[in-house]
Amino acid sequence: MKETLPETKRMHSKNFLAHCVEYINPLSLFRFSSVQQLSSQDSRKVQSIGAIYFTYLFIYSGLEFTLPFLMHNRFDYSSMQQGKMFFFIGTVMALVQGGYTRRIPSGKESKTAANGLLVLIPAFLLMAIATNTLLMYLSLTMFSFASATVVPCLTTLISTYGGDDEKGTIMGIFRSLGALARAVGPVVASTVYWCSGAHVCYILGGISLLMPLTYLRRLPGKAAKEQ
């Protein structure tokens, strides 16, 4: 597709190799080292949003990955029933994103993301103790709501930082942090699940979400003005 950013607004770097190293170094990703033109205050905000995004997706993707284990072990779900469960999750997510998330007023993204985390915490705690499919599907509905709100709102929030020549870099690093979380989270969550059981895994995951929620509510600057 045709490049939409004019040549005059593109960032030009002579040290291509150094940038490549920064893009694959996890520490550089968390620091957004490739972004050079932000003020120190905005740089701290961008790093905070990136850390919140990574922590959230690390926990979320890990527990999402163990859902099929939980449903099979607790309710003896077959492959077809697992497919119907994920179809239900996807349908709720589509309805929430199409009917609610896209209508969120500008400036309310931080508050909405925090509300999504508030819904996700009891969802995971309920999954830990649910003994029937009614309770389980109630928790899956809450889970789907959070899935449809947190990431879109955090993505919109971080997209407000940086000039025209660095927004692509910021968004690329941001999504890379998400990919890293999705790679590591399932390994850790699966280890906890099979070593300590579903109850410990989901209760620990739900409680751990208090960390990104706390950081999000303390986020200064643009996010703080929304509250």
Q: Where are the domains of the chain?
A: 40-222
CA atoms within 13 A on the CB side of 190: 11
Mean pLDDT, the chain, rounded, equals: 89
Predicted confidence band at 2 (pLDDT cuts at 50, 70, 90)?
Answer: confident
Of 51-55, 102-106, 144-148, 222-226, which gets the smallest average pLDDT? 222-226
Specify the pLDDT at position 224: 42
pLDDT, greater one: 14 or 101: 101
Mean pLDDT of the region 171-185: 94
Alpha helical stretches, state H, 101-166: 109-129, 133-158
Per the document, the length of the chain is 227
Would you say residue 36 has pLDDT above 70? Answer: yes
- C-beta of residue 150 within 8 angstroms of C-beta of residue 56: yes
CA atoms within 13 A on the CB side of 194: 10
Predicted confidence band at 227 (pLDDT cuts at 50, 70, 90)?
Answer: very low
Neighbours of 14 (CB within 10 A): 6
Mean pLDDT of the region 83-92: 97
* Residues contacting 118, CB < 8 A, separation 6+: 213
Q: Long-range CB contacts (< 8 A, 24+ apart) of 65-69?
A: 65/185, 65/186, 65/189, 65/190, 66/186, 66/189, 66/190, 66/193, 66/198, 66/201, 69/190, 69/193, 69/194, 69/198
Predicted confidence band at 200 (pLDDT cuts at 50, 70, 90)?
Answer: very high
Neighbours of 13 (CB within 10 A): 9
DSSP summary character for residue 8: G
Predicted confidence band at 3 (pLDDT cuts at 50, 70, 90)?
Answer: confident
pTM of the model: 0.87
CATH no., domain 40-222: 1.20.1250.20
